[in-house]
């Protein structure tokens, strides 16, 4: 009976030890990646959108800007982001960023694989995510 109880305790410990929950902050800031302060949230009812964006290999995105706060997480690939002031950011899989707001910029995937990035937009029902120049 003692052996059975010992085995039960040992198995219980290993089951609970395997289920450890971990939380890691990937990015947290009051500024976008280029150092600009983020604008205030809109006063209307909020709407959060989450998009998975796929950028094919060897693709340059058009010059665009985001009128609302957004943040992203690179799932795979590598991407270079360039602002109209020639500030650049190199991103790779596993990186997180707070994107520039109301600043013209574009992204370049120079790699041989598609880029996947999950982007979270904090706006309202009337908000657009991007404006092309």
Give the rounded distance of the alpha carbon of 106 from its chain centre: 16
Place 121 in a pLDDT band, splitting at 50, 70 and 90: very high
- Please give the pLDDT value at position 7: 45
End-to-end C-alpha distance for the chain, whole angstroms: 76
What single-letter DSSP state applies at residue 34? T
Decide: 91 and 74 in contact? Cβ < 8 Å: yes
Write out pLDDT tens, residues 23-71.
Answer: 999 999 999 999 999 999 989 999 999 999 999 999 999 999 999 999 9
Taking the C-alpha atoms of residue 121 and residue 15, their distance in angstroms, rounded to an integer, is 38
Decide: 121 and 99 in contact? Cβ < 8 Å: no
Q: What is the DSSP string of 62-77?
A: PPEE-SSEEEEEEEES
- All domains of the chain in start order, with CATH: 26-132 (2.60.120.10)
Decide: 99 and 70 in contact? Cβ < 8 Å: yes
The pTM score is 0.82
Taking the C-alpha atoms of residue 105 and residue 83, their distance in angstroms, rounded to an integer, is 4
How many CA atoms, within 13 angstroms, populate the side-chain half-sphere of residue 46? 9
Write out pLDDT tens, residues 79-116.
Answer: 999 999 999 999 999 999 999 999 999 999 999 999 99
């Amino acid at each position: 009976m003692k052996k059975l109880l010992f085995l039960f305790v040992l198995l219980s410990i290993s089951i609970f030890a395997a289920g450890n929950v971990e939380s890691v902050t990937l990015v947290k800031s009051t500024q976008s990646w280029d150092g600009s302060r983020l604008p205030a949230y809109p006063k209307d009812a909020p709407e959060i959108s989450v998009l998975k964006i796929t950028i094919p290999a060897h693709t340059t995105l058009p010059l665009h800007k985001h009128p609302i706060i957004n943040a992203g997480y690179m799932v795979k690939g590598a991407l270079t982001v360039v602002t109209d002031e020639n500030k650049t950011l190199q991103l790779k899989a596993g990186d997180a960023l707070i994107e520039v707001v109301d600043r013209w910029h574009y992204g370049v995937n120079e790699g041989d694989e598609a880029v996947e990035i999950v982007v979270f937009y904090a706006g309202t029902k009337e908000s657009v995510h991007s404006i092309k120049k």
